[in-house]
Chains A and B, each alone.
Chain A
Amino acid sequence: MAWSDTYEMVCGVETHVELATKSKIFCGCTTEFGGEQNTHVCAVCSGLPGVLPVLNKEVVNLAIKAGLALNGEIAEFSKFDRKNYYYPDLPKNYQTSQYDLPICKNGWLEITVDGAKKRIGITRAHMEEDAGKLVHSGETITSSDESYVDYNRTGVPLLEIVSEPDLRSIAEVVAYLEQLVQILDYTQVSDCRLEQGSVRFDINVSLRPKGTSDLGTRTETKNLNSFASVRHCMEYETERQAEVLDAGDKVVQETRTWDEGKGITISLRSKEEAHDYRYFPEPDLVPLVIERSWVEEIRRTLPELPTERRMRYESLGLSEYDAGVLTSSRALADFFDEALSRYADAKILTNWVMGEFLRLLKANQQSVLDSPISPVQLAELLELIDKGSISGKIAKGVLEDMYATGKDAALIIKEKGLGQISDEAALAEIVEQVIAAHPQSVEDYRAGKERAIGFLVGQIMKATKGQANPSLVNKLLKEKLS
C-alpha cells in the first residue's frame, strides 16, 4: 500500500534564483560564472572595514519584472534587512536580504497536472545577496585540515521566491518548478542554468492523514538544484515521513540535506538548533520607494509568457503536447517562432523541430542557444522539400550535414549533388531504360500485378541514387505502361 492511500502531502517551495545582471547587487564586480578564485571581488563584496553597499538598480528592475510575471503585487515601500549569522563564506557575517517588507507579495502561477489546471500561490519574492563558496581539503569543513573561500559569488543578486503550501503531489511540485523556471527564463530574469546552480530549491514538506485539515510537522530540505533531484528527494522524504507516522512517532521539525549519492535526506539541524538571525533593518541602505510609473514601465517590457504562447500555438492547430514541448524553454519557442515567420505550415515545422532538430541537439548534448542551425536555415530546408528539390528522406541527411557544418541546405544539396530529379525529359529517359531492361516486370504489371510497379520504381530510384522525384516517376511509369 502506498503512503498516498493514507496521507496527503503538503508542500511549499523556496526557490533561489540568480538574477541575470552584469554586476553584483551592491558593488560593480562582474557576476560572470567561474573565473579564477577571488578575482571577481572588491573592497565592498569582500566586506572590508568601512565599505558601504550601493543597490544595483538592475536588480530591482529584474525583481519587479519577475514579480509581475508571477502576478504579484509590487510593494510601493520596501526595504533591506540584515540576516545575522556566522559562516566563513559570508564576508560580513550577515547577509543583506529582505525580511518583513519584500519587493513582491501575493503572486501566483498556474500548473497543469493530468489535464487539470491549478493555481499555486506565491507568498513573496525578495532580493538578497549570495554567499561565497567554500573549498575544503577534506570532505566537510569539520573534517578538513584546511578550507578555502572563493568570494567570486559573494554579492551575486538572488531573488528568493516562496510558494504557498499549495502543492499536493510530487507531480504538482515538479510542474510548479518547471513552470516557474520557464517564466523566469521567458522574462530573462535569470539565465536559469540549473547545472551551474543559478536556481536552487528548498523543499518544505509534511504529511497529514487524508481528510484532515491541520498541517503536519514539516521538514525543509535545502539546496536542490535539478528537477530530478527534487523528485527523488521528495519520493524519499515522503516515504520516510510516512514510515515515522505509521510507526506512531512524530516527525521532527528540522532542516535536512539531500545526499544525491546515497539517495537519502540527512538531518542538518533541528528547530531548537535553528539560527536566531536577529534580523533588523539594514542601516546602510535607504528604504526602496518604487513609483508606480517604474512598475508600469517594466510591465510594458514583459514578453509573451509561456501560457499565452502555448495557447497561441494551440490555436495554430498544434496539439497540447506539442505546444507544451515547444514552449518548454524561451529559446526553443523563439526558435520556432522565427522559423514560423519564414515557413508558415506550423504542423510540418513542429514535426521537424520536435523530431529531427531536438534529436540532433540531444545527440550533441547542446541547447537550442548553441544550435549551429538557425531558424531561417531550417525554414529554407523545408521550403526546398516543398519545391520538390529534395525528398523528405534526403532532407534528414541534409539537416545532419547542416548541423555538422553550419552550411545552408541549398549549398549542401548542390555540393553533394542531392538535388531531386524533377526534369521530366531527363527522368523519361531513365524510365524508358528501366522498362527496356525489365521486360518481365512490365509484362507482370500489364497482366494486372500491381505490385510489379513498385519494383520498377525501386529500380528507377536506384538508378538515380534516390534523387528522382517519386510522384513524377509514378506518373511517367503509368503513362509509358498504359
Chain B
Amino acid sequence: MDITAKTAGELHDLLVQKEITSTELTHAFLDRVRRLEGQVQAYVTVTDKSALKRAAEVDAKIARGEAIGTLEGIPMALKDNMCTEGIRTTCSSKMLEEFVPPYSAEVAIRLQEAGAILLGKLNMDEFAMGSSTENSRFFPTHNPWDLERVPGGSSGGAAASVAAAEAVYALGSDTGGSIRQPAAFCGVVGMKPTYGAVSRYGLIAFASSLDQIGPLTKDVRDNALVMNAIAGHDRKDSTSVRFDKPDYTQFLGKNIKGLKIGIPREYFGEGIDSDVAKVIWDAVAALKDLGAEAEECSLPHTDYAMPAYYLIAPAECSSNLARYDGVRYGYRAEGDDLISMVRKTRAEGFGPEVKRRIMLGTYALSSGYYDAYYVKAQKVRTLIKQDFDQAFGTYDVLLSPTAPTVAFKFGEKSSNPLSMYLSDICTVPVNLAGIPGISIPAGFVGGLPVGLHLMGKAFDEGTLYQVAYAFEQHTGFHKVKPSTKEVAAHGLE
C-alpha cells in the first residue's frame, strides 16, 4: 500500500484507526517530494522541519485519545502567493524571493487550526500571471502526465503536486482559470469558489475583484472537505460575504435526476480541440445516463469576456503591484536616487509577463482612455453577469470544457501571449461573473487528462459538488494516475 496515493478522506480513517501515524504519513510525502522534485519541480519551498513537528503534535493528540478533525494530520501545500508567517512567500518572483511575511493568510490560519500539515509552498506563474507556470522566476513545473508538457497555470505547482501525489491536496488561486485550467491539465479536481466565499486576506493580490482561493484535490469528496475548512466570512476581508455555509459533503451522493444542465454553445467555438470536445460530449452523455437533463443554451456575450478580462485584471494589477518599489521590503536595486532605485527595482524585479500586464493596466486607467477601456470593460462584465443570471433562470449548472486543449508542450505558447491567454477562454467568464466553477477529470486525449468544467449559481458550490461527485463515481476517471515512468517508478501501483 502506498499511502501517498490515498485521499484525505481515506487517510483520516487510517489515522483514526491508528493504522498509520501522521509522522509516518508526513515522512512518506517528504520522501516522495525528495525523489520526484527533480522531475516535477512543484515546490518552491519545502518546510520539512515544521511539517514533522506539526505531525508529531497531531500524533500526540491521537495517542492521548483525543478526537481529530477530518483534515488533521494530513499533509498539504499552499500556492506560494498565500502568506505564511515565518515562511518565505515568493509569488515565484524575484521581487519577493526573500520575502518572509510576518503574518499568515486567513486560509493558512484556518487550515492550521484544522490541523493540516504544511509541506511547503508551491510554484506558480509570477504573481499568478500566466497559464503554464513557465513565468515562474525560479523554474517551470512539469506535468506529471508528461514531463515535456506544462502543468497549466498559474497554480501549476499546486495541480502537479496533487497529481504526482507530492501532497494530499493543495490550495491554489484563480483569477481567470488559474485553479481549474491546471486541474484539468493535471487530471485533478479544482474548485474556484464564488467570489466572497473564501477570504482573500493574505493572498497576494493580482486582480482583487477576480482573485479567489480554492482547493485542488484528488477527488470531489476531498474538495468538499477542504472547502468546509476554508470557506466562510472573514471580517478582515471586506469583500468576503456572510452566508450560511453548508457542510459541502452533504451534497455528495445525492442523485442528479431531473437536474437541468445548460451547454453554452459559445464555449465550443473555434479554438476548441475537437478531441477535447468529444470527451466533453461523452461526459454529457454520462450525465444524461445519470438522469440529468442537458441541452444547448447561449451566453451571448461570451466573446467579449476575454477583452474585458484583459482590461480589468491588468488595471487592478497595475495598482496592486505598485507597492513593490524597493522601499519597504522585497528586492531593491541600487540606484543613484529614489526614482532610479524604484525604476531599476521594478525593471529587474518583475518578469516580462508581469510588466506587460502592468503596462496594459496603466494604459487602460490613464486619463483619456479610462472610459473607453476600463469603464467599457466593466459594462461588458455586467452583461456577462446578466447572461449567467438568465441562464441560471433555466439551468442548475452550466457545462463546458475547462480548457480548449490538453496540456501543451513547454515553449509552445510562451512566445505568443495571445495564444497563451486563449487557454483561459472557458474559465474567464466565471471570474467576471463571480460565480463558482469546478474542473473534474473527464477522460483523456492522447493519454493526457481532459477537464470537465461545471459552472454554478453564486454560493451554490453544493450543486456543483453534487453533479461532480455523481459523474466521478459513475466514470472513475479520477482513479487513473499519471504513468510517466518517473512518476510511476515511485510507486503508484
Contacts of A285 in B (CB 8 A): 238-239
In the complex, per-residue mask of A275-302: 1 if CB is within 8 Å of any chain B CB, else 0: 0101110011110000000000000000
Q: With A and B bound together, what is the CA distance between A47 and B329 in angstroms?
A: 10
How far in angstroms is the closest Cβ of chain A from B92? 13
Interface check A52, CB cutoff 8 A: yes
Interface check A248, CB cutoff 8 A: no
Given contacts A51-B201, A86-B342, A142-B337, contact A46 B322 (CB under 8 A): no
Give A61-90 interface residues, CB cut-off 8 Å to B: 82, 84, 86, 88
Indicate if the CB atoms of A284 and B201 lie closer than 8 Å.
no
Contacts of B342 in A (CB 8 A): 86
Contacts of A86 in B (CB 8 A): 322, 325, 342
Indicate if the CB atoms of A47 and B323 lie closer than 8 Å.
yes
Contacts of B207 in A (CB 8 A): 283
Interface check A171, CB cutoff 8 A: no
Interface segment, B158-166, B272-280, B363-371, B437-445? B363-371
Look across to chain B and name the residue whose beta carbon is closest to the beta carbon of A274: B367
Q: Which of A49, A52, A55, A92 contacts B99 (CB 8 A)?
A: A49
Contacts of A142 in B (CB 8 A): 337-338
Interface check B315, CB cutoff 8 A: yes
Q: With A and B bound together, what is the CA distance between A173 and B37 in angstroms?
A: 71
Given contacts A278-B362, A280-B315, A285-B238, contact A48 B370 (CB under 8 A): no
Q: With A and B bound together, what is the CA distance between A46 and B322 in angstroms?
A: 13
Contacts of A217 in B (CB 8 A): none
DSSP majority for the A interface? loop
Indicate if the CB atoms of B322 and A93 lie closer than 8 Å.
yes
Interface check B83, CB cutoff 8 A: yes
Q: Which of B208, B328, B337 contacts A284 (CB 8 A)?
A: B208
Interface check B142, CB cutoff 8 A: no
Contacts of B374 in A (CB 8 A): 280
Interface check B254, CB cutoff 8 A: no
Q: Which of B237, B316, B318, B322 contacts A92 (CB 8 A)?
A: B322
Indicate if the CB atoms of B238 and A54 lie closer than 8 Å.
yes
Q: Which of B81, B203, B239, B319 contacts A286 (CB 8 A)?
A: B239
Q: Which of B82, B239, B319 contacts A278 (CB 8 A)?
A: B319
Q: With A and B bound together, what is the CA distance between A276 and B365 in angstroms?
A: 9
Look across to chain A and name the residue whose beta carbon is closest to the beta carbon of B374: A280
Interface segment, B58-66, B100-108, B129-137, B391-399? B100-108
Interface check B236, CB cutoff 8 A: yes
Indicate if the CB atoms of B365 and A280 lie closer than 8 Å.
yes
Q: With A and B bound together, what is the CA distance between A51 and B320 in angstroms?
A: 11
Indicate if the CB atoms of B319 and A52 lie closer than 8 Å.
no
The interface size of chain A toward B, counting residues with CB under 8 Å, comes to 31
How far in angstroms is the closest Cβ of chain A from B202? 4
Look across to chain B and name the residue whose beta carbon is closest to the beta carbon of A55: B238
Interface check B89, CB cutoff 8 A: yes
Indicate if the CB atoms of B238 and A149 lie closer than 8 Å.
no
Given contacts A86-B342, A283-B209, contact A49 B238 (CB under 8 A): no
Interface check B205, CB cutoff 8 A: yes
Q: With A and B bound together, what is the CA distance between A141 and B337 in angstroms?
A: 9
Interface check B327, CB cutoff 8 A: yes
Interface check B204, CB cutoff 8 A: yes
In the complex, per-residue mask of B187-223: 1 if CB is within 8 Å of any chain A CB, else 0: 0000000000000111111011100000000000000
How far in angstroms is the closest Cβ of chain A from B340? 12
How far in angstroms is the closest Cβ of chain A from B153? 19
Given contacts A93-B322, A276-B367, A280-B319, contact A50 B83 (CB under 8 A): yes
In the complex, per-residue mask of A21-58: 1 if CB is within 8 Å of any chain B CB, else 0: 00000000000000000000001001111111111000
Look across to chain B and name the residue whose beta carbon is closest to the beta carbon of A149: B327
Given contacts A278-B365, A280-B319, contact A52 B236 (CB under 8 A): yes
Indicate if the CB atoms of A50 and B322 lie closer than 8 Å.
no
Indicate if the CB atoms of B337 and A50 lie closer than 8 Å.
no
Given contacts A142-B337, A276-B366, contact A52 B322 (CB under 8 A): no
Q: With A and B bound together, what is the CA distance between A283 and B313 in angstroms?
A: 11
Given contacts A49-B89, A50-B83, A84-B322, contact A284 B203 (CB under 8 A): no
Indicate if the CB atoms of A278 and B367 lie closer than 8 Å.
yes
Contacts of A141 in B (CB 8 A): 338
Other CB < 8 Å A-B pairs besides A52-B238, A283-B316, 12 of them?
Answer: A49-B323, A49-B324, A50-B89, A50-B202, A52-B237, A84-B322, A88-B325, A92-B323, A278-B365, A280-B374, A283-B239, A285-B239
Chain A residues near B (Cβ < 8 Å): 43, 46-55, 82, 84, 86, 88, 91-94, 141-142, 147, 149, 276, 278-280, 283-286
26 contacts between A and B (CB under 8 A): A43-B103, A47-B328, A48-B103, A49-B83, A49-B91, A49-B96, A49-B101, A49-B204, A50-B101, A50-B205, A51-B103, A52-B236, A52-B239, A53-B238, A54-B235, A54-B236, A88-B338, A278-B318, A278-B365, A280-B319, A280-B365, A280-B374, A283-B207, A283-B209, A285-B238, A286-B239
